[in-house]
Amino acid sequence: MLKKKGILHELYTNKILFLMLLPTLLYFLVNNYLPMIGIYYAFVQFDFNTSLFKMDFVGLKNFEFLWKSGKLVELTFNTIGYNIVFIFLGNVLSIFVAILLNDIKGKWFKKISQSILFLPYFVSFVILSVIVFNLFNYEQGVLNTVLQQLGADPVDVYSKPKLWIFFIIMFYLWKNFGYSMVIYLASITGISEDYYEAAKIDGANAFQRAWHITVPMLKNTFVILLLFALGSIMKGQFDLFYQMIGNNGLLFSTTDIIDTYVYRSLRVTFDMGMATAAGVYQSLFGFTLIMIVNAIIRKVNKDYALF
Amino acid sequence: MRRSRMSAAAVAVAMAVFLIAACSSNNDSARPGDADGKSSSILTSRTEGRSGPVVLQFYMLGNAPKDLPIIEERINEMALEDLNVAVKFHYTTWTEWDQKYKLLLSTGRAVDLIFTSDWAFYQQYAHQGAFMALDELLPLAAPKLQAFVPKEMWDAVRIDGRIYTVPSTYKEYVTGGFIWREDLRRKHGLPTPVDLPSFEAYLEGIRQHEPGIQPAAFGSLVDSSIQHAYLEVERKAVGPMPYGLYASYDKPNEIGAYWGTPSHLEDLKKYKSWAEKGYLSKNVLNDPVSMQDQIASGEAAALLSDNPTRYNAMLSQMQAQHPDWDLGYTPFGRSTGYATPVHPMHNGFAIAAGSEHPEEALAFYEKLVTDERYNRLTQYGIEGVHYEVKDGFYHALDKSGFEREGMIGWAWRNPDYMLFEPSYERVQRIFNELDQIQKPDLYTRFVEDYTEYQAERAALEQVVKQYLYPLLAGQIEDVKEGLAIFMEKANEAGLPKIQQSYMKQWKDYLANGIVSNQGEKPQ
């Protein structure tokens, strides 16, 4: 019925609402859509002296370096792999701890543990890297000092790439799970007490209440957080990987992601074109992924889809 | 149904925000007044800039000095009177400076004056047009400066025939040399490092007698701290050539591959033996502490290579904490037989291509270099507050204030106005020694043009970090096999193409550029 009267009529009838929407639209237009013109940098030879559209068009030449080293597949696999683990473990852990915290009766204990879990979120990755180095370095690290005290042989942690899969995930969770935990905690606070009381009267124990009431009620928040996270699945946690691994080539096979690769490759090459090309690759990949996942969610349950 | 779900989620997010805000609410109460004060001061400075004189944006690499606002205010008082300009000093800090530098020049930020150096890729940026050519501007805006800098130096910084930077006229050496803890050497009667064998003997002595101290520090960038340093002292390389290429100083024309050759394998085996003996830390690639700091704090006992000025700085920093410790220094020139004074490109100031006030900027820079008041103020601070001159030497008065050369004004050092700390004598002695064996720098002026192979170059960067760095750090068990793998990956990334193009450019440069290069010998 809207179609019949056309968009102008729609604009006229809801003019106040559209007016209220205008600032937001403008905000996104200026900050998120307009800069997309810069994507064109990926297809030109950068030149300091001319404007963007006067630079020489070079086609896909700027993208070449991505596959020249033969690492693109490995890097994409690492980036996505880590992010899937981060999303999955991060959410499961946050939901689990949020439920536990919510059931704790002692107000002070609850507040304190909530804050303690949240605090690592504010630790910078640079500081984290120093902490990690002091834990694991071969000569004076805490780990090896303890091992030697116990009469065991010291371990060179920094030459064992497989071990770092575990460390990276562990430190990511340590640092970030408090944040999503607070979101889940807020969701749980919003669930009506009535359900729990009814369940109690029916004789459900704490586990049953959590599993059959809390978890289903959190599904919505989970899906939204999941979709948000998927949008940036191709964007690795640059700080985390770069600070922990740095220039240690021994660990690259399991810990190098697109972001660190691009940074290292272009550190000495000041070519805006190539840097943009890497960004475009990541964005396109992320865009495709989120469209696919959103479509699947739409198929399964329309209400949960993002759009 | 849908609406209610979405709104439930929105409520959840809002509540989360509320919970987070609650966590940090304590800090907020103190803020408003503080914020007001700041914003109003920014506002006034902006309006001042608009209504009054031209405000020059002055960019330096590195960390801002203490008391910068005081210095800036004084400078602006003088500049307003003399030139009707004001200047705003900006510092990038040393973290990620190369990224910031790139962004400053390529994103259209208002930049008038900016520091340049060969190590900040002056040649490439100039070649690509990031800076303004100064040839016509100099006689108009800064005739005094033009006359002050010798013609040979102007010619030495020319890129594609044009001048893009104002070189520093102060002559120094930034060539390498062995650095070691002299007090430990005396204590255990170890040999003085003068060449590699004696350096290794010293490290061996430290390993035996001082188990708590790392014999040598290298930092995580092992290509410069191990490979290039080693090539400089042991194989007399003409310069730190990229892409595993090598030419000797004596025969620069005979450029060839170094990576993958028997001599490369031999050198890698040497590094491996150092790692096995524990001379270098097993986790050198992850070490977050700079090698200079490791020496100053006593964590490590020696450096394979650093320049005389940094040696002096390390020694001063160290003796401030531990007066009884001492450092020794042997310039590589003593065993190689020559030393190249710093190229005029090493420190300079350019005007960014997008500057709107190039004349004012150059006129101001002229003042900074040639006017004693400007120069001393920006190099040493305020006389009587930050420093005093005693027996012709610089003495710091306020240790917590503006430090000597705190503005990192390497580029506008003027030998006529320079003041040195008494300890500078150590450096001067080394410089005097090197003056006896000086030869011109053949390498720095070379401008590499990598547009042809920039994809390969970027891909190679990763391969080097992944496969060569562990070899340099002696972390690979089978060096021969490791080198074979590295070469295979490097060739896949396009190393031969890069090397061929680079070698051709280098030979062209030697054929055409060497003539004007002769004139570079500083006076």
In the 3-class helix/strand/coil scheme, how is A225-254 assigned residue by residue?
Answer: HHHHHHHCCCCCCHHHHHHHHCCCHHHHHH
Q: Which domains does chain A have, with CATH numbers?
A: 68-304 (1.10.3720.10)
Q: How far apart are CA A157 and CA B496, in angstroms?
A: 35
CB contact under 8 A, A252 and B458: no
Cα separation values, B421 from B105, B390, B430, Å? 35, 10, 15
Q: Which pLDDT value is given to residue B148? A: 93
Structure token pair of residue B170:
């102060």
Distance from CA of B13 to the nearest CA of A (A): 6
For residue B366, the model assigns a pLDDT of 94
Nearest CA in chain A to B476: A250
Interface check A272 vs B, CB under 8 A = yes
- Residue from the list A45, A182, A190 with its beta carbon closest to the beta carbon of B20: A182
Buried b (16+ CB within 10 A) or exposed e, A189-199: eebeeeebeeb
According to DSSP, the residues that pair with B390 across neighbouring strands are B393
Q: Does A110 touch chain B (CB under 8 A)?
A: no
Distances (CA, A) of B144 to B140, B362, B371, B489: 10, 11, 10, 54
Identify whether the C-beta of residue B429 lies closer than 8 Å to the C-beta of residue B331: no
Residue of B nearest to A187 (CA): B12
Which chain A residues contact residue B5 at CB under 8 A?
220, 303-304
Which residues on B lie below 8 Å from A245 (Cβ)? 286
Answer whether A133 sits within 8 Å of B11, measured CB to CB. no
Q: Do B288 and A139 touch (CB under 8 A)?
A: no
Q: For B316-344, what is each residue's pLDDT tens digit?
A: 888 888 999 999 999 999 888 899 998 89
Question: Which tokens is B229 given?
Answer: 């340093």
User: pLDDT tens digits for chain B (523 residues)?
Assistant: 344 444 444 444 444 444 444 443 333 333 333 333 333 333 333 334 445 788 999 999 988 998 999 999 999 999 999 999 999 999 988 877 887 888 888 877 789 999 999 888 898 889 888 999 999 999 999 999 999 999 989 988 998 889 999 999 988 898 999 999 999 999 999 999 999 999 999 999 999 999 889 999 988 888 888 999 999 988 899 989 999 999 999 989 899 999 999 999 999 999 999 999 999 888 888 888 888 888 988 889 999 999 998 898 889 888 888 999 999 999 999 888 899 998 899 999 999 988 989 999 999 999 999 999 999 999 999 988 899 998 888 888 877 888 888 899 899 999 999 998 888 888 888 999 999 998 888 888 888 888 888 888 888 988 898 899 999 999 898 999 999 999 999 998 899 999 999 999 999 888 875 444 433 333 3
What confidence score (pLDDT) does residue B46 get? Answer: 37
Which residue in A has a C-alpha nearest to residue B17's C-alpha? A183
pLDDT of residue B44: 37
Question: In the structure encoding, which two tokens stand for residue B461, read together?
Answer: 């960067």
Choosing among A115, A160, A265, which should be mutated to test the B contact, i.e. which has the most B CBs within 10 A? Answer: A265
Residues in chain B within 8 Å Cβ distance of A269 = 450, 454, 457-458, 461
* B220 vs A contacts (CB less than 8 Å): 246-248
Share of chain A above pLDDT 70, in %: 97
Residues in chain B closer than 8 A to A138 (CB atoms)? 281-283
**Which residues 66-105 of chain A have a CB within 8 Å of chain B?**
68-71
Cβ-based neighbour number of residue B180 at 10 Å = 26
pTM of the model: 0.77
Q: Which of A247, A250, A298, A303 to mutate to test the interface with B (most CBs of B within 10 A)?
A: A247
Q: How many Cα atoms within 13 Å fall on the side-chain side of residue A102?
A: 25
A51 touches chain B (CB under 8 A): no
Q: And the tokens for A52?
A: 């963007």
Cβ neighbours of B116 in A, within 8 Å: none
| H helix runs in B422-494, sequence order | 424-435, 454-463, 469-472, 479-493
| Inter-chain touch A118–B475, beta carbons under 8 Å | no
| Strands B245-246 and B256-257, sheet pairing | antiparallel
Q: Do B350 and B359 form a contact (C-beta atoms < 8 A)?
A: no
Task: Write the single-letter amino acid at B97.
Answer: W
The CA distance from B393 to A47, in Å, is 47
Chain B residues with CB under 8 Å of A256 CB are: 462, 466
Dist. CA B122–CA B351, nearest whole Å: 12
Q: Which residues of A touch B353 (CB under 8 A)?
A: 48-49
Q: Give the separation between CA B283 and CA B469, rounded to whole angstroms.
A: 12
Searching chain B, which residue's CA lies closest to the CA of residue A185? Answer: B16
Q: Do B281 and A249 touch (CB under 8 A)?
A: no
User: Are residues A186 and B12, on separate chains, in Cβ contact within 8 Å?
Assistant: yes
Cβ contact A269–B288 (<8 Å):
no
Across residues A157-181, what is the average pLDDT? 89
- Where is average pLDDT lowest: A1-5, A177-181, A213-217? A1-5
Closest residue to A69, CB basis, from B286, B353, B493: B493
Minimal Cα–Cα distance from B65 to chain A, Å?
23
A67 to chain B: closest CA residue? B459
Which of B9, B451, B462 faces A264 most closely, judged by CB atoms? B462
CB contact under 8 A, A138 and B475: no
pLDDT score recorded for residue B380? 92
- Counting Cα atoms < 13 Å in the Cβ hemisphere of A240 gives 23
SS3 content of chain A, % helix, strand, coil (to 5): 80, 0, 20
Whether the Cβ atoms of residue B68 and residue B99 lie closer than 8 Å to each other: no
Judge: A261–B468 Cβ closer than 8 Å, yes or no: no
The predicted structure's pLDDT at residue B28: 36
Distances (CA, A) of B141 to A159, B78, B87, B355, B362: 58, 18, 17, 15, 6
Q: Which tokens belong to B200?
A: 């290794």
Report the residue from A115, A118, A247 with minimal CB separation from B465. A247
Smallest Cα distance from A49 to chain B, Å: 6
CA distance B343 to B159: 14
Residue A304 in 3-state DSSP?
helix
Cα nearest neighbour of A63 on chain B: B455
Domains of chain B: which residue ranges?
A: 49-172+344-380
Tell me what the mean pLDDT of segment A20-26 comes to: 93
Residue ranges in B406-446 assigned as alpha helix (H) = 424-435
- Looking at residue A272, its pLDDT comes to 78
Average pLDDT of span A20-39? 91
Are A182 and B19 a contacting pair at CB < 8 A?
Answer: yes
Q: Which residues pair with B159 in a beta bridge?
A: B162
Closest CA in chain A for residue B20: A182
What is the least distance, in Å, from the CA of B462 to any CA of chain A?
6
For residue A261, the chain B residues in CB contact (below 8 A) are 462
Chain B residue numbers touching A130 (CB-CB < 8 A)? 288
Class (C level, CATH) for B49-172+344-380: alpha beta
Question: How many CB pairs (< 8 A) connect A and B?
Answer: 169
Give the model's pLDDT for residue B21. 41
The alpha-carbon gap from B91 to the nearest alpha carbon of chain A, in Å, equals 20
Residues of B in contact with A156 (CB under 8 A): 282-283
Digit-coded pLDDT (tens) for B173-216: 989 999 999 999 999 999 999 999 999 999 999 999 998 899 99
Among B1, B469, B493, the residue with its CB nearest the CB of A249 is: B469
Q: Contact B455/A220, CB-based, under 8 Å?
A: no
> Mind telling me how many Å the CA of B42 is from chain A's nearest CA?
24
Q: Residue B93's pLDDT is what?
A: 85
Distance from C-alpha of B1 to C-alpha of B136, rounded to nearest angstrom: 73
Q: Does A56 touch chain B (CB under 8 A)?
A: no
Angle between helices A215-231 and A72-103 (to 10 degrees): 150
Confidence of residue A269 (pLDDT cuts 50, 70, 90): low
Which of B309, B227, B316 is CA-nearest to residue B268?
B227
CA distance B351 to chain A (A): 13
Residue A141 has pLDDT above 70, yes or no: yes
Instruction: Note the pLDDT tens digit of each residue in B366-421.
Output: 999 999 999 999 999 998 889 999 888 888 887 788 888 889 989 999 999 999 88
A219 touches chain B (CB under 8 A): no
- Which residues from chain A sit within 8 angstroms of residue B466, using beta carbons? 249, 252-253, 256
